[in-house]
């Protein structure tokens, strides 16, 4: 398809698509004349990813380029491509400074991973942004005076593990490794707010069962 | 305890506590002299809630006052106190304007509630902010070109229902209705980021099982 059709089908203006091409967020089309190129379904898919990253994830262009490079890099194994792509995405806050409260939180996080059996995360520990974000969340709860020990967090960690099975099933529905990496990024960016939006209705339902008419 | 001790035990400055007292976010202490009041454990607990609302939830003072009023209002039944408190908290974006994509999303959301058996939410539907937030999340996914039909969302909704059971168990560990409402607000404000921070480590673990060495 030509640029105009790519723009129409993606609902992204031709100016924005040209910008993405210049920034190497989108691979060049197949040149057919001096001024025209031909684009295909892969371009359409990639545009969807780039838009999710930039518009929803609000990641800087340089970060989006890293994610796209990881999606494309078929010289590496699938786990490392997935890891690079997801690590480049925006994360929650990290613990600000080492100190006694960070040490306690790190121990709680470590114990939690141990009990839920997440050995891959345990091995990475402080090298992993996801782990550091978890430590920061525990520090924040402690500072606010809320109980946040391993026993409190364990049912949530078990639930997160079940959720991850659903996520990865969705990822594995895609055929090519590149599409799978794209799907994993999509789960981390536009899907997370959608999943979070199910939390409150679910709580309302359960509260009605326990405190309301229970219908 | 005196103001100085309340400040020390809560790690909140006396100036901030005085401000919360003036704004009626904290009930007055028991006056013992013309210039001194006595505070108790209830004040300490309420401070924890107010700080979570204002510092973590970033809710305006007027909203925090609404939440606190719902916590205290023992003339109403527990479900309505819980509902008022949680509804006052910050929510995700709402669907911007009615239109065909909002209609499709509303149908998807309704079908989802039907299939997961959330009749309380179904009855409230558009009156509920949680429902409108869910509709907005579905609209956003559609716009980005991601599949987001009932079948895709159903496993997540089921998981949210299980999570809500864990949440409400935690809430019911508290004895008084006021403490229970406070705990429900805490789950919606400082806990949500902590729960979200478990999502990525869980995904990394599951991805390692499927694509990595699987240890």
pLDDT tens for A49-69 read 898 888 777 889 998 998 888
Structure tokens at A199: 């939390």
Q: Are residues B190 and B112 part of one domain?
A: no
Q: Are residues B40 and B95 part of one domain?
A: no
Residue B215 pLDDT greater than 60, yes or no: no
Report, as an integer, the average pLDDT of A149-158. Answer: 87
Structure tokens at A142: 């402690």
* Choice between A166 and A114, residue whose per-residue pLDDT is larger: A114
Distance from CA of A92 to the nearest CA of B (A): 7
pLDDT tier at A208, thresholds 50, 70, 90: confident
Residue B14 pLDDT greater than 90, yes or no: yes
Chain B residues in contact with A154 by the CB 8 A cut-off are none
pLDDT value of position A3: 94
Asked if A37 and A4 touch (Cβ cutoff 8 Å), the reply is no
Q: Are residues B4 and B110 part of one domain?
A: no
pLDDT value of position A214: 53
Q: Are residues A84 and A102 part of one domain?
A: no
Q: Do A160 and B198 touch (CB under 8 A)?
A: yes
Interaxial angle between packed helices B177-188 and B78-87, expressed in degrees from 0 to 180 and rounded to the nearest 10: 30
Measured in Å, how far apart are chain B's first and last C-alpha atoms? 54
Residues 6+ apart with CB under 8 A from B186: A146, B49, B52
Q: Are residues A192 and A156 part of one domain?
A: no
Q: Are residues A55 and A120 part of one domain?
A: no
Q: Do B163 and A159 touch (CB under 8 A)?
A: yes
- Report the distance separating Cα B82 and Cα B84, nearest Å: 6
Q: Strands, DSSP E only, in A19-155?
A: 30-31, 37-38
Angle at B177 between CA B93 and CA B22, to 5 degrees: 70
Angle at A76 between CA A75 and CA A78, to 5 degrees: 125
Residue B121 has its nearest CB partner, among A55, A188, A204, at A204
Q: Are residues A191 and A97 part of one domain?
A: no
Q: Are residues B82 and B4 part of one domain?
A: yes
Q: Are residues A136 and A78 part of one domain?
A: no
* A215: containing domain: 1-89+174-215
Report CA-CA distances (Å) from A160 to A166, A208, B107: 10, 24, 28
Among the ranges given (A101-105, A121-125, A155-159), the one the predictor scored with the smallest mean pLDDT: A121-125
Q: Are residues A67 and A113 part of one domain?
A: no
Distance from CA of B198 to the nearest CA of A (A): 6
Q: Are residues A81 and A6 part of one domain?
A: yes
Residue A164 has its nearest CB partner, among B79, B195, B203, at B203
Q: Do B203 and A145 touch (CB under 8 A)?
A: no
The total number of structural domains in chain B stands at: 2
Residue A39 pLDDT greater than 90, yes or no: yes
pLDDT tier at A1, thresholds 50, 70, 90: very high
- CATH number for A13: 1.10.1660.10
Q: Do B52 and A144 touch (CB under 8 A)?
A: yes
pLDDT tens-digit readout, B100-118: 888 889 999 999 999 999 9
pLDDT tens-digit readout, A108-143: 999 999 999 998 888 887 777 778 888 888 888 887
Q: Do B205 and A161 touch (CB under 8 A)?
A: yes
| Sign of the four-CA dihedral A143, A149, A153, A155 | negative
Q: Are residues A85 and A132 part of one domain?
A: no
């Amino acid at each position: 398809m030509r640029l105009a059709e790519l723009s129409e089908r993606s609902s992204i203006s031709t100016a924005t698509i040209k910008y993405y091409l210049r920034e190497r967020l989108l691979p060049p089309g197949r040149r057919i004349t001096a001024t025209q190129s031909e684009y295909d379904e892969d371009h359409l898919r990639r545009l969807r990813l780039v838009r999710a990253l930039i518009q929803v994830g609000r990641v800087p262009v340089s970060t989006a380029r890293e994610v796209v490079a990881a999606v494309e890099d078929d010289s590496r194994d699938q786990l490392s491509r997935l890891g690079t792509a997801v690590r480049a995405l925006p994360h929650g806050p990290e613990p600000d400074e080492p100190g006694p409260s960070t040490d306690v939180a790190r121990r709680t996080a470590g114990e939690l991973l141990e009990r839920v059996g997440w050995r891959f995360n345990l091995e990475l520990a402080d090298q992993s942004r996801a782990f550091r974000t978890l430590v920061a969340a525990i520090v924040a709860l402690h500072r606010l005076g809320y109980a946040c020990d391993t026993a409190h967090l364990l049912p949530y960690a078990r639930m997160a593990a079940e959720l991850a099975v659903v996520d990865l099933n969705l990822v594995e529905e895609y055929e090519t490794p590149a599409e799978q990496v794209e799907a994993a990024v999509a789960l981390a960016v536009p899907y997370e707010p959608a999943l979070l939006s199910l939390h409150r209705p679910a709580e309302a339902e359960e509260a009605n069962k326990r405190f309301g008419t229970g219908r």
